Amino acid sequence: MSNKMAEKLINFRVYNEGNDLLGVADVDLPSIESMTDTVKGAGIAGEVDSPTLGHYAAMSCTINWRTMAKIAIELAKPKAHQLELRGAVQVYNSAAGIYETLAQKFVLKAVPKNVSLGKLDVGTTQDTSSEFEVNYIKVFIDGKEVFELDKYNYICRIGGEDFLAGTRKALGL
């Protein structure tokens, strides 16, 4: 029996439109937070925050640049940008006593919300950042799709199950 423990991100790269390496950065990925509404009344002993099936709150992604890069300005263009974040995760396989590498990939369609030009201070990073509204996200782990959320096309697929298929059918989509 294999006991594999994901330990840490070895490294990652950020690409624009699938093939243009964007530079040295770190990324704050979006939070996936269900839209909820409180249900209360007869038949319920109290209140329940009920999630709306397949619907999620606004999602932001921030790319933090070490220096003011031309790409930070290019990504400020008011249009959807397709960003790919490709990572390598270190996994320890205790049954075999070896380290393995697990691939992760995040595909985002994101619209710019904010560009912070950062600061000017001698001998330090400039801390430029680009913040995006994420309208689409697809996550792959070890080459397998595990999550896809496409807000404009009513797709919410988690572990291969599409939770908005019934909604699309009901809406005639």
Tens digit of each residue's pLDDT (9 = 90 or more) over 138-161: 999 999 999 999 999 999 999 999
pTM score: 0.90
C-alpha separations of 63 from 90, 128, 142, 148, 157 in Å: 23, 9, 24, 21, 25
Whether the per-residue pLDDT at 1 is higher than 70: the answer is no
How does the average pLDDT of the chain come out, rounded?
A: 93
Q: What stretch of H or E contains 7?
A: strand 4-16
What six digits make up the tokens of 100? 């393995």
Enumerate the domain spans of the chain: 4-38+49-142
What six digits make up the tokens of 33? 């937070």
Short-list 144, 80, 83, CA closest to 108: 83
**Interior angle at CA 163, CA 61 and CA 51, nearest 5:** 70
In this predicted structure, what is the pLDDT of residue 163? 97
Tens digit of each residue's pLDDT (9 = 90 or more) over 99-142: 999 999 999 999 999 999 989 999 988 899 999 999 999 999 99
Name the residue with higher pLDDT: 72 or 51: 51
Contacts of 84 (CB under 8 A, 6+ apart): 14, 15, 16, 18, 105, 106, 107, 108
In this predicted structure, what is the pLDDT of residue 68? 80
In this predicted structure, what is the pLDDT of residue 69? 78
Q: Are 100 and 4 in contact (CB under 8 A)?
A: yes
Instruction: Provide CATH code, domain 4-38+49-142.
Output: 2.30.110
Q: Are 74 and 98 in contact (CB under 8 A)?
A: no
Q: Are 111 and 19 in contact (CB under 8 A)?
A: no
Q: Rounded to an integer, what distance in angstroms lies between the CA atom of residue 74 and that of residue 1?
A: 49
Tens digit of each residue's pLDDT (9 = 90 or more) over 22-67: 777 899 999 999 999 999 999 999 999 999 999 999 999 999 998 8
In this predicted structure, what is the pLDDT of residue 2? 67
Q: Rounded to an integer, what distance in angstroms lies between the CA atom of residue 95 and that of residue 139?
A: 27
What six digits make up the tokens of 166? 């019934």
Q: Is 127 left (phi over 0), alpha (psi -120 to 50) or beta?
A: left
Tens digit of each residue's pLDDT (9 = 90 or more) over 7-21: 999 999 999 987 777
Contacts of 1 (CB under 8 A, 6+ apart): 95
**Interior angle at CA 133, CA 127 and CA 139, nearest 5:** 95
